[in-house]
Structure formats: structure tokens, C-alpha cells
Chain A
């Protein structure tokens, strides 16, 4: 199983896997695949079924919103070491944004159906995965709020 060994090493290199029990890592690898996206290619589209999430190994992914008559607006970029996609954890399991490779992107993807089944049956795994996703979501929320502050402009005149 050369391929699984490779995936294991790739997973280990990613910050997401830091401190994860080797046995659980192996379980996760069972749902993982190595993927590559050319610049411009979509990883997922808004409204699509969220059947995966990605651990970005290299490259930049733009999380975008599109609106008619306007160019797509990037709300965030995710690069090396980042985690992309949490909609697979939250009903109704639909992507809420577009994700497009801005450069060549290499990522480890995880099959949500496969992983979710294992998480349901192995609460320890479930907890470990959730424990790694909650901070991702918390950081995104924090970042979104900071972006709302409009930090860099002069203070609004009262």
C-alpha cells in the first residue's frame, strides 16, 4: 500500500494532523485522496453538495462570491497549511461559497460521507476532528469580524 503510506506522510506534514493519534490518522487516511488543481479551476461551487473538505498543501485557494454583473469577489484566500471547507459538517451540507484555485493547488481531500460514518462510529475520532475544525471556524469568524472593522481607514467622524 505505497499510496496510503504516501498519503500518511502528506497528512503528517499538515498542521491539521499535529498531535493526532497515529491510529486515528490511519483511519482518516482511509477517506483521503491526493488532489491537484490548475490555476482557475474550481474546487467547489456555491450551492453544491459539500461532500469533501481539503487540507491545502501548497498554492492559494480563493474563497469567492459571485454576483450577476459583477466580477467574483474574493472574501478570503487560503494557502499552505490551511483548511478549506466546513460545510460538510453543517446541515444542509451545501457549499456556501465558491472555491477556486488561484495558483496551482495541491491538496489532500477527505470524503465527507466516509469520514462522517467513521466519526459517528468512533466518537474519539469524531471529537478529534471536531476539535480541529472548531478553531478553524472560530478563526474565520474572528477574521470576518476584523475585516468588518475596516481597521485601516481613519476613524469615522462622530
Chain B
């Protein structure tokens, strides 16, 4: 039974930020930085990318002026939220020499409490997938689990699709039905600028109860529904169905060589992918040699070192590395975690310097099968 919906006026949105801050959350929301929209700490709605849209394509991304006052009129920030939940560089511990041996010192800061505001459906789906990766197995990542438990999620549904979006075909959007605390749809109708709100958790309900709000009208519900439909219908890309089985059977497809001719093995796709979780460890000592530190860093299956075993790398060819990434994302992931690793956000397409399109590569492999 879905929660009853309420309407929050644009001028009252600041109260939501204030209440969250009051509860000890650091609000993190889309904001413009260096010509891009990204998730960053904000103090209130004034920091949001008002009237900013974006255009995206393979290897292409630009901000645009929408000509309206929408705060969430862009499609998705350039990176997802994994950097906040699983930092790109994280010190795990330090060690100091003690006698002939050493002693481990754990000096971690307490996990931050983030309120993520403006989370897209694909983003939330990615988070639910990473929950399975980091918390669903025999061993959990404690840091991720703690950050995740601490966070407050305000989803904002999309009103249109980006050119690279294909969440509809991955069933990860544009609507979401679980996993959020609060769901908003931003509606501008002439001079009226409101957010249709629906709580998805106790925390969300409690917050909504404290906000100035009115009852939602039929027209508001219809406007939100129209937006979701437009966001689904506007998607120009789609992942082919049955791709998991297809790729599992096409490990020897000749098409991998074809992709390899274009792929530069730069690893951008893995960095911007909101579900890619690979990491490596860096061990180092200070100059005195008395103190050591272990740092965990994001890693990419596109690097040669990634598959190194004594004397050589298992995946030497670009073809094998691209295959690893794509088959893992779309096929092996299903066997490992019960879901696809792709949420259809299309970031890997946008940030690929040569515009390799995972949906097109899947089609090409199907064609060659």
C-alpha cells in the first residue's frame, strides 16, 4: 500500500535541507562544478543546478540552459554515489614497527551521515546492487555497510530521458518502488513550482510530517505520472533482452576483437559506472620505514596489472579486458549476485572517449552469434 502523497512548495524545500542537517546529516545533492553536474555537499536548494539541463551522447556531455526554474532538470550527475559510500581512496589502517614485528593501528574516522538528495532511479538501483556486492556475501565491507546504514535517500524522479539512458530496458527506472526514504517529483505548472512527495520509510515519513505541505491534487499525480512516462518513452537506447545468456555463450565471439580496436583501455567506464566495485590495495611505508599504511583504491579491470599473477597478466589483450568488463557487468553479475550489474544509466557511453556504446556492442554480439 503506497503512502499517501503530499505536495511541498518550492519555497518550503529549504526546510527539508535544514531538518536533515539538524538531524546530523550532511546533505549531498547535484550541483554545478567545472561545467558538469555532480553530487557534492550542499547547504540548501540555492546550491542546486537551477534551470540547468544537460546533453549527452557517446563521448559527449554539455550543460544546457533549460529556460525554466527546475532544480532537478538535468538527467543524472556525471558520477553516481559510490564515491560517497565506497571512497575512491580509503586508508584502511596504519602499522608501526614494534620490536622485531609490527602493530596495526586502526584510526578510522566515524562513518559520515549523508543525506543524498536528488537521487535518480538508476542511482538507487545501483546502490541496491552494491548492497548485494558489499553486504550480501559471506564477508561484508564494514565501512560500506556503516555508511549505507547511515544515509538518508531523497529520490527525485526523472521528467525526461537523457540520450544515453536505457534504464527502462534494465527495469531499474525511471520509477522506483523501494529503497528510498522520500520520493519527489518536481512539477512546474505556470507559476506553481511544487514537489509531489511520498515517503518510503519510517525515517521519510517522520521527515515529511515535519514539513509544510498540502494534499496532492489529481492534476499533480497526473503530472508526475506523465513525467515518468515521458522519461521511459524518451529513451533512445535499450539493452537487448537475454543479454546475460547471450554473453555467457559468446566468450569467443569475434566481436571482442572489433571492440578492442576502438577501446583504449582507459577505464573511464569502470570509474563512472555506479556499480563497478573493484579495488586494489596500496601498501607503503613512510621515509623512516617505521610506519606503514594500507590504502584501498578503486581499480579497473581494464588495467594490465589487474589480472597479474607471478610473471604475467592473465588478460593481456584489450579484447579480453573489454570482454571481462562487459560480461561481468551484464552476465556473470547475475550469477554472482542475482541481478544484472548494469542499471542503464549510460554513463559508460557518455564518458567513453571514443563513444563505445554497451547497448550497441550487445546488439553486435547478438548479430554475430
Contacts and interface: CB of A to CB of B under 8 A. Distances in A.
Q: Do chains A and B touch in the complex (CB under 8 A)?
A: yes
B303 to A, nearest CB: 16
B261 interface: no
B311 interface: yes
Interface stretch (A16-24, A106-114, A149-157): A149-157
A123 interface: no
A158 interface: yes
A156 B312 CA distance: 8
A18 to B, nearest CB: 37
B75 to A, nearest CB: 44
A118 B312 CA distance: 55
Interface string B299-342: 00000000001111000000000000000000000000000000
A150 to B, nearest CB: 12
A103 to B, nearest CB: 38
Nearest to A156: B311
Interface in A135-158: 154-158
Contacts of A155: 309-312
Nearest to B313: A158
B220 to A, nearest CB: 64
Contacts of B309: 155
Interface in B76-129: none
B296 to A, nearest CB: 27
Interface residues of B, number: 4
A158 B312 CA distance: 7
Interface size class of A (residues with CB under 8 A): under 10
Contacts of A157: 311-312
Contacts of B310: 154-155
A154 B310 CA distance: 7
Contacts of A158: 311-312
Contacts of B311: 154-158
Interface in A11-67: none
Contacts of B312: 155, 157-158
A157 B309 CA distance: 11
Contacts of A154: 310-311
Nearest to A158: B312
Nearest to A155: B311
A13 to B, nearest CB: 45
A157 B313 CA distance: 10
A156 B311 CA distance: 6
A158 B305 CA distance: 13
A156 B309 CA distance: 11
Nearest to B312: A155
Most buried by A among B309, B310, B311: B311
A155 B313 CA distance: 10
A155 B311 CA distance: 5
A24 to B, nearest CB: 44
Contacts of A156: 311
B315 to A, nearest CB: 14
A130 B312 CA distance: 42
A109 to B, nearest CB: 46
A117 to B, nearest CB: 51
A157 B310 CA distance: 8
11 contacts: A154-B310, A154-B311, A155-B309, A155-B310, A155-B311, A155-B312, A156-B311, A157-B311, A157-B312, A158-B311, A158-B312
Given A154-B310, A154-B311, 9 more contacts: A155-B309, A155-B310, A155-B311, A155-B312, A156-B311, A157-B311, A157-B312, A158-B311, A158-B312
Interface of B: 309-312
Q: Which 9 A-B pairs have the closest CB atoms?
A: A155-B311, A155-B312, A154-B311, A154-B310, A157-B311, A158-B312, A155-B310, A156-B311, A158-B311
